[in-house]
Amino acid sequence: MDRPTVTKRGVSGPPLVIVLLAAVGLAVFVVPLFGLLVQTPWGGLARLLSSDVVLDAIRLSLVSSIAATVISAVVGVPLAWLLARVDFPGRALVRGLVLLPLVLPPVVGGAALLFALGRRGVVGEPLYEMTGLVLPFSTWGVILAATFVSMPFLVITVEGALNSLDRRYEGAAASLGAKRGAVLRRITLPLIRPSLVAGLVLAWARALGEFGATITFAGNLQGRTQTLPLAVFVALESDRDTAIALSLLMVVISLTVLVVLRSRWWRPS
Partner 1 sequence: MSGRVASALLAGVLSACSPGGASAEVLVSAAASLTDVFAEIEDAFETANPAVDVILNVAGSATLREQITAGAPADVFASADLRNITVLSEDGAIKSGITVFATNQLEIAVPPGNPAGVSGLADFERTDLLVGLCAPGVPCGDFARSALQLAGVTPAPDTNEPNVRALLTKIAAGELDAGIVYTTDVVAAANGVDGVMIPASHNVTAQYPVATLIDSPNPEGAAAFVAFVLSPSGRSILAEHGFGVP
Nearest approach in angstroms of CB 234 to partner 1 is: 5
Q: 64 with 136: CB under 8 angstroms?
A: no
Find the binder of partner 1 among 72, 139, 147, 216 (CB under 8 A).
Answer: 216
Residues 82-111: x where in contact with partner 1 by CB under 8 A, - otherwise, as a string: -----------------------------x
Q: 143 with 151: CB under 8 angstroms?
A: no
CA–CA gap between residue 73 and residue 71 (Å, rounded): 5
Residue 190 makes contact with partner 1 by CB under 8 A: no
Q: 71 with 144: CB under 8 angstroms?
A: no
CA–CA gap between residue 137 and residue 224 (Å, rounded): 8
Find the binder of partner 1 among 106, 109, 152, 219 (CB under 8 A).
Answer: 219
Residue 236 makes contact with partner 1 by CB under 8 A: yes
CA–CA gap between residue 240 and residue 234 (Å, rounded): 9
* Residues 6 or more apart whose Cβ sits within 8 Å of residue 167: none
Nearest approach in angstroms of CB 260 to partner 1 is: 25
Among residue numbers 15 through 54, which ones bind partner 1 (CB under 8 A)? 32, 35-36, 39
Residue 237 makes contact with partner 1 by CB under 8 A: yes
Residues 125-154: x where in contact with partner 1 by CB under 8 A, - otherwise, as a string: ---------x-xx-----------------
Closest by Cα among 239, 37, 67 to 139? 67
CA–CA gap between residue 157 and residue 147 (Å, rounded): 15
**Which residue ranges make up the site for partner 1 (CB under 8 A)?**
32, 35-36, 39, 111, 114-115, 118-120, 134, 136-137, 215-216, 219-222, 224-225, 232-234, 236-239, 243-244, 247
